[in-house]
Amino acid sequence: MALIEQSLNSWYSLYVREELDELSDSFTITDPSISGHPIVFASRGFLKMSGYSKDEVIGKNGRVFQGPRTNRRSVMEIREAIREERPIQISLLNYRKDGTPFWMLFYMSPVFSKDDGRVIHFVGVQVPISPKPTRSRSGVGRNGVNLCEDGSRMRGDIVFGSCRREVCSDSLVELGRVLDLESVLDSDSRGLDIEETCEASDLEKQRAANAIENISSVLTRYSELIGRLVCEKRCSLPGAGLLSSSLIISLGRIKQSFVLTDPHLPDMPIVYASDAFLRLTGYTRHEVLGRNCRFLSGEDTDPSTLYKMKESIRVEQACTVRILNYRKDKSSFWNYLHISPVRNASGKIAYFVGVQIEEGCKDQSRHGLSPEMRQLGAVGAVRVAVRSLSIGAGPSMS
């Protein structure tokens, strides 16, 4: 939950939540840099519309509001917009907490850093679509219960497959689940297409556009107060070493402690740090990104170990070392560290991954696998994520 708090606090004044709460619109704000791309803010309007409490929403992915009759093609279009880091307006069938379905116009828009052009958040506005006169038909509730068009229950339950599940990988056992990343992610949503769609009116589309504009204005104003400017449209090209939102989301599914560094940039800085790495070291994400990993070393760190790591990187080979590292609070820990090159779809080295396991950690024997096997599993999952996205998006999209 600390990462959720930091998501807004590190970019906006602490008073931004109060201002956002004053807006009557139904909307959520999500953070693609946190594992699972969770909701970090939910408006009062959204909570009222969905029937959920704030505690039930914050930290969850937006897919929890989808159900058996949510159109898979629409979900794919939203995912594609996230990959391309662009806005999208689309009609979507979602489900309230009590299981009743309702049509809404979903307007999602990225929020960019004005300095380096990276995506900071996604804002998703939900405008309920007024029902149009149609013939009576039955639908299906989230739990496979037959529903009338107004959402009331009917006799005769039907069992449907569950909604999409999140893929989490931190071992060789789970690596197989991401070898065909997109097919795994979509496996549970096949067969959910429906013939009908519910088109939003021009007035509803304008309401969504106005809401996005109001929210963006608040975020921009409160980012200026702490000198970290954001903007609704990309004000500058993404800086060197910045990862796409799609790759960040894929890497976020890997639950092991690891960092990704870019050997093509001066001083080989960290360009991605997993949530587990942040918990292990005590640093926040913005304190880590852009720095060389040497900041984890201290006065008792063995120079010969550092030299061995440097040489393995120079010759582009994997290595494993036992190194004394230091957390943010200056406490030390023995780090069982594995470093390995990560190649893109063309076979060239794109990154180096460093996977950390704290020696003596109670979690060390999880899944019955050795630390070596867990590290190799994490490295394999990172390679799959990098290669699959570089194949699908080309060199400009990671």
Domain ranges for the chain: 2-133+197-231, 245-397
**CB of 339 within 8 A of CB of 329?**
no
Q: For 357, what's the count of Cα atoms within 13 Å in the CB-facing half-sphere?
A: 26
pLDDT 10s digits, 312-368:
999 999 999 999 999 999 999 999 999 999 998 888 999 999 999 998 875 555 556
| Selection from 41, 36, 51 nearest residue 164 by Cα | 36
**CB of 26 within 8 A of CB of 32?**
no
What are 163's two structure tokens?
């909604």
Same fold, 2-133+197-231 and 245-397: yes
What are the residue ranges of helices labelled H in 60-190?
72-84, 172-175, 181-186
Q: Give mean pLDDT in consecutive 10-residue pieces for the chain, a chain of 398 residues.
A: 85 93 96 92 96 95 92 93 93 95 96 89 95 53 46 36 38 46 41 61 95 96 91 70 84 93 94 94 91 94 96 95 96 96 90 94 63 91 85 41
**CB of 314 within 8 A of CB of 392?**
no
What are 271's two structure tokens?
């360009």
**CB of 382 within 8 A of CB of 176?**
no
Q: Using CA atoms, how far apart are residues 15 and 194, in angstroms rounded to an integer?
A: 43
Identify any residues that bridge with 272 across adjacent strands, giving them in sequence order. Answer: 260
Kindly report the CA angle at 70 between 64 and 76, in degrees rounded to 5? 85
| Selection from 123, 140, 167, 179 nearest residue 35 by Cα | 167
Whether the pTM exceeds 0.85: the reply is no
Q: Give, for 90, the enclosing helix (H) or strand (E).
A: strand 88-95
DSSP character at residue 140:
E
SS3 143: coil
What pLDDT, on the 0 to 100 scale, is given for residue 116?
81
C-alpha gyration radius of the chain: 23
> Does the domain made of 2-133+197-231 have the CATH classification 3.30.70.270?
no
Cα–Cα distance list, 109 to 18, 87, 89, 207, 259 (Å):
21, 4, 9, 14, 28
Q: Using CA atoms, how far apart are residues 74 and 164, in angstroms rounded to an integer?
A: 14
| CA 384, 385, 387, 393 torsion-angle sign | positive
Distance of CA 6 to the CA centre of its chain: 15
**CB of 223 within 8 A of CB of 15?**
no
Q: Using CA atoms, how far apart are residues 302 and 279, in angstroms rounded to an integer?
A: 24
What pLDDT, on the 0 to 100 scale, is given for residue 115?
83
What are 383's two structure tokens?
């390679």
Domain 245-397 CATH class label: alpha beta
**CB of 112 within 8 A of CB of 25?**
no
Mean of the per-residue pLDDT values for the chain? Answer: 82
What pLDDT, on the 0 to 100 scale, is given for residue 181?
40
Q: What is the DSSP string of 301-365?
A: S-HHHHHHHHHHHHTT--EEEEEEEE-TTS-EEEEEEEEEEEE-TTS-EEEEEEEEEETT-GGGG
Residues in the chain: 398
